[in-house]
């Protein structure tokens, strides 16, 4: 029952992401092909690689390592748009990068996850198997379909989307917290233990990815607003999708709890950085 409710919630969340994507913004992105390619495809290469290195270095439990790799291979999350807004960054660029990252996930998530898990199996002697056909099907239904539907609605009912922009924007945040609430309700006793296990790894992974993102942003983006959009895309993965794929594609429901705990640890840290960056941009 929980996976059905979560699937419906994530479907709606991805639909809202699609309604925020404008073709005009995508065309603007095409004028900065280096930035877009680095910001999107760099995520799918570097984020899993860094996550794998940290997980092996810390000798984490196999289940937690698999959850972290799954999260790292997922596209950027809609929460990155909120962080970009708070930091006074280029929100339209952030939304476009999130949308493009989501559309690329159909190919890049299985590819990145498959490579990372193969390397983990080689290094640690694990025997994880990734059911690629199920993963492709879940990504198509949970991400590509609703995001594309949202983009179609935006294209042909733009006035309705514009009129309800705030409702959709706040609705996406509400849906995100609905997913978190479902997980916490389903396993209240395990959350504290998971938070303790993940606290240092989550902060370390987030910090390293932010540092990498800063370097990428400085190399590719022309101004501070664009750099903010790039910076907050990298550490913020779509954890709702990661957790749901853990349940539906990998048959490991505990991965949903790990993804939720990761978000609860990361969010205050990244939000604080967003406020700090906003102060710097005002100065």
Query: Would you state the pLDDT for residue 41?
Result: 81
Q: Taking the model in full, what pTM does it have? A: 0.86
**DSSP secondary structure, 111-133, as one string:** HHHHHHHHHHHHHH-------HH
C-alpha to C-alpha distances, 96 to 56, 57, 79, 225, 253, nearest whole angstrom: 33, 34, 13, 14, 31
Furthest CA-CA distance within the chain: 55
Report the phi/psi class of residue 88: left, alpha or beta, with left for phi > 0 and alpha for psi in -120 to 50: left
Query: Would you state the pLDDT for residue 189?
Result: 61
Report residues of the chain scoring pLDDT below 70.
1-3, 186-189, 283
CB 86 within 8 A of CB 274: yes
Gap between the Cα atoms of 223 and 230, Å rounded: 11
Query: Would you state the pLDDT for residue 283?
Result: 61
Phi, psi of 80 (to 5 degrees): -65, -30
- Other Cβ atoms less than 10 A from the Cβ of 105: the count is 26
Query: Would you state the pLDDT for residue 55?
Result: 92
Chain center to CA of 88 = 20
* CATH code for the domain defined by 2-182+190-275: 1.20.1530.20
The token pair at 117 is 């898990």
**DSSP secondary structure, the chain, as one string:** -HHHHHHHHHHHHHHHHHHT--HHHHHHHHTSHHHHHHHHHHHHHHHHHHHHHHHHHHT--HHHHHHHHHHHHSPBPTHHHHHHHHTT--HHHHHHHHHHHHHHHHHHHHHHHHHHHHHHHHHH-------HHHHHHHHIIIIIHHHHHHHHHHHH-HHHHHHTHHHHHHHHHHHHHHHHHHHHHH-HHHHHHHHHHHHHHHHHHHHHHHHHHHHHHHHH-SSHHHHHHHHHHTT-B-HHHHHHHHHHTS--THHHHHHHHHHHHHHHHHHHHHHHHHHHHH-
Query: Would you state the pLDDT for residue 247?
Result: 78
Domain ranges of the chain: 2-182+190-275
Query: Would you state the pLDDT for residue 205?
Result: 93
Phi, psi of 76 (to 5 degrees): -65, 150
């Amino acid at each position: 029952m929980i996976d059905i409710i979560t699937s419906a919630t994530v479907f709606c969340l991805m639909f809202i992401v699609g309604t925020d994507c404008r073709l005009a913004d995508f065309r603007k992105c095409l004028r900065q092909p280096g930035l877009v390619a680095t910001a999107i495809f760099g995520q799918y290469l570097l984020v899993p690689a860094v996550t794998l290195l940290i997980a092996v270095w810390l000798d984490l439990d196999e289940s937690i390592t698999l959850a972290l790799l799954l999260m790292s291979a997922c596209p950027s999350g809609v929460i990155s748009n909120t962080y970009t807004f708070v930091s006074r960054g280029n929100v339209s660029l952030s939304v476009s990068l999130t949308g493009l990252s989501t559309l690329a996930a159909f190919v890049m998530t299985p590819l990145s996850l498959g490579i990372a898990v193969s390397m983990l199996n080689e290094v640690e002697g694990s025997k994880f198997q990734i059911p690629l056909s199920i993963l492709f099907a879940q990504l198509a239904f949970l991400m590509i379909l609703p995001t594309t539907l949202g983009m179609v609605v935006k294209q042909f009912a733009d006035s309705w989307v514009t009129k309800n922009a705030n409702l959709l924007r706040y609705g996406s945040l509400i849906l995100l917290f609905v997913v978190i609430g479902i997980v916490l309700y389903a396993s209240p006793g395990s959350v504290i233990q998971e938070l303790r296990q993940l606290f240092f790894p989550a902060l370390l992974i987030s910090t390293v990815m932010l540092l990498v993102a800063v370097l990428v942003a400085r190399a590719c983006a022309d101004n501070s607003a664009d750099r903010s959009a790039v910076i907050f895309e990298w550490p913020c993965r779509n954890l709702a999708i990661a957790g749901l794929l853990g349940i539906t594609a990998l048959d490991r429901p505990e991965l949903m709890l790990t993804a939720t705990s990761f978000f609860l640890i990361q969010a205050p840290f990244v939000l604080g950085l967003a406020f700090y960056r906003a102060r710097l941009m005002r100065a």
